Amino acid sequence: MTEYEVELVWEGAEKADREANIATREDETVLEAAERADLGLPFGCRIGHCGSCTGRLLTGDLEHARRPLALKDRHLDDGYVLLCIAEPRADCRIRVGVDVQRELVSNPWK
């Protein structure tokens, strides 16, 4: 059974940085592996349209198991991933937590 090591990194402006390591099994999403390890990651729809679980891939490789509709091309180009449908294909290092989702859009009037 293929296992990949995934390092999860929380980098928030107002909270201490934190890291955790988990391992994903074959065809397992990062969110499922985190839940198996009892780590709370944000999520919503679990099928890739709401963006609540957005992370940013720092190193490694993963594939979305279905279309990541919550992410536009510019987000995908910048390494944003949806952890509810993202399956690692190599060892990965991923920035996680609610702050990542907030980077997807900005206030157009400010």
5: left (phi over 0), alpha (psi -120 to 50) or beta: beta
Out of 15, 18, 36, 89, the only residue in the binding site for other proteins (CB under 8 A) is 15
Out of 34, 94, 97, 100, the only residue in the binding site for other proteins (CB under 8 A) is 97
**What residues numbered 25-64 form the site for other proteins, per CB under 8 A?**
40, 42-52, 54
Number of other CB atoms surrounding residue 15 within 10 Å: 10
d(CA 45, CA 31): 12
Q: Assess 65 for contact with other proteins (CB under 8 A).
A: no
For 72, residues 6+ apart whose C-beta sits below 8 A from its C-beta are none
Question: What does the DSSP 8-state code read for residue 84?
Answer: T
d(CA 10, CA 6): 13
Out of 2, 3, 12, 26, the only residue in the binding site for other proteins (CB under 8 A) is 12
Residue 56 Cβ vs other proteins, minimum distance, rounded to whole Å: 14
Residue 51 Cβ vs other proteins, minimum distance, rounded to whole Å: 3
Given the rule CB under 8 A, which residues bind other proteins? Answer: 12, 14-15, 40, 42-52, 54, 66-67, 69-72, 97-98, 101-102, 104-110
